């Protein structure tokens, strides 16, 4: 079975979303960026450009401002690109062709490695303002968090693929799969809001169906939150532990657990887990 992530969205989509978020408020006319693959930055996402020169440009380590950031994993800037002595000028053609003079670049660092670079630029000489630079740094941190979550989901999917039970799999392997599934659902709730959270939830639901098969005909319909709570209870979590993992209050967990127990027609946490598994509602 392939170890390629099943449903991981393109990291470039998250980069594009950050650029769109920044564009109306940052007060800088040009924003762009790209992902880093095999130590090469490829510029793919843009806002405010007038020419095609930067599109698809590949920036290698230590070359230009982006390559410097890629190499150092630290933000860097130039107040006048044309005369800057602190960078190489491998990309003068497309940069100056766009009319860019002032630039700040921010790396998106995950686990000690630059995974993307974000730029803000203007066509005038002079440093990019602190407010714009701070906004770009914050966007870089948001992207780093999102990519970290995506990496963790991929890791857990690979664990599930490696541990996928054969017909004669023992109970310990099955319990491990249940634990990974519950942790995946918790990761979805801890992920940044928006499209990533929705995609992680959809992935969790698909994995639940893959592990359990379709629910038994006539089984009660549990809400997403009720299912999440039961998955944590099935792992032996207390209400407080489940609340911490799902990023909700302990009273909220109690409420969802009571609702699930009522739907399942049971009187205890243990009975709720047993009934939900029997009905194919949780793995």
| H or E element that contains 111 | none
How many CB atoms sit inside 10 A of residue 105's CB? 28
What pLDDT score was predicted for residue 2?
A: 42
Task: Give the CATH number of domain 11-147; options: 3.30.70.270, 3.30.450.40, 1.25.40.10, 3.30.1330.10.
Answer: 3.30.450.40
Please check whether residue 39 is in contact with residue 61, taking contact to mean a CB–CB distance below 8 angstroms.
yes
Please check whether residue 36 is in contact with residue 70, taking contact to mean a CB–CB distance below 8 angstroms.
yes
Alpha helix (H) residue ranges in the chain: 11-22, 64-72, 92-97, 130-163, 171-190, 195-212, 224-234, 239-246, 250-264, 269-278
Task: Give the CATH number of domain 164-278; options: 3.90.25.10, 3.30.200.20, 1.10.10.10, 3.40.190.10.
Answer: 1.10.10.10
**Beta-bridge partner residues of 58:** 42
What is the SS3 assignment for 167-184?
Answer: CCCCHHHHHHHHHHHHHH
What pLDDT score was predicted for residue 204?
A: 66
* Token couple for 192: 């940044």
Contacts of 279 (CB under 8 A, 6+ apart): 215, 216, 219, 220, 264
Per-residue pLDDT of the chain (283 residues; tens, 9 = 90+): 344 444 566 888 889 999 999 999 999 999 999 999 999 999 999 999 999 999 999 999 999 999 999 999 999 999 999 999 999 999 999 999 999 999 999 999 999 999 999 999 999 999 999 999 999 999 999 999 989 888 887 777 776 666 555 554 456 666 666 677 677 777 777 776 666 777 666 666 666 665 655 565 667 888 888 988 998 888 888 888 888 888 788 889 999 999 999 999 998 988 898 888 878 788 7
What pLDDT score was predicted for residue 64?
A: 95
What pLDDT score was predicted for residue 60?
A: 95
Indicate the DSSP class of residue 51.
S
- The pair phi, psi for residue 219, each rounded to 5°, is -65, 145
The structure's pTM equals 0.60
Question: For the chain, which residues make up each domain, given as ranges?
Answer: 11-147, 164-278
181 HSE (CA, 13 A, CB side): 29
* Token couple for 130: 């602190």
Closest CA to 91 of 112, 68, 116: 68
Contacts of 116 (CB under 8 A, 6+ apart): 11, 15, 33, 34, 35, 36, 41, 107, 108, 143, 147
């Amino acid at each position: 079975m392939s170890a390629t992530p099943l449903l991981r969205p393109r990291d470039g989509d998250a980069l594009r979303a950050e650029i769109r978020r920044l564009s109306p408020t940052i007060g800088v006319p040009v924003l762009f960026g790209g992902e880093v693959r095999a130590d090469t930055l490829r510029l793919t996402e843009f806002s405010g450009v007038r020419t095609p020169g930067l599109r698809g440009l590949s920036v290698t380590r230590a070359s230009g401002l982006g390559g410097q950031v890629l190499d150092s994993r630290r933000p860097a800037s130039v107040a006048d690109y044309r005369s800057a002595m602190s960078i190489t000028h491998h990309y003068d053609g497309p940069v100056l062709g766009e009319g860019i003079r002032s630039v700040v670049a921010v790396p998106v660092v995950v686990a000690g490695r630059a995974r993307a670079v974000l730029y803000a630029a203007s066509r005038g000489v002079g440093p990019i303002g602190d407010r714009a630079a701070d906004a770009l740094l914050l966007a870089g941190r948001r992207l780093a968090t999102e990519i970290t979550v995506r990496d963790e989901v991929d890791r857990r999917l690979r664990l599930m693929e490696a541990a996928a039970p054969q017909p004669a799999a023992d109970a310990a392997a099955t319990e491990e799969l249940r634990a990974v599934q519950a942790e995946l659902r918790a990761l979805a709730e801890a992920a940044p809001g928006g499209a990533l959270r929705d995609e992680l939830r959809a992935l969790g639901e698909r994995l639940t169906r893959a592990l359990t098969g379709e629910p038994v005909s006539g089984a009660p319909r549990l809400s997403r939150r009720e299912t999440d709570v039961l998955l944590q209870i099935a792992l032996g979590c207390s209400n407080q532990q489940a609340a911490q993992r799902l990023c909700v209050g302990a009273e909220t967990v109690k409420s969802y657990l009571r609702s699930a127990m009522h739907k399942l027609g049971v009187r205890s946490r243990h009975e709720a887990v047993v009934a939900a598994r029997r009905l194919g509602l949780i793995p």
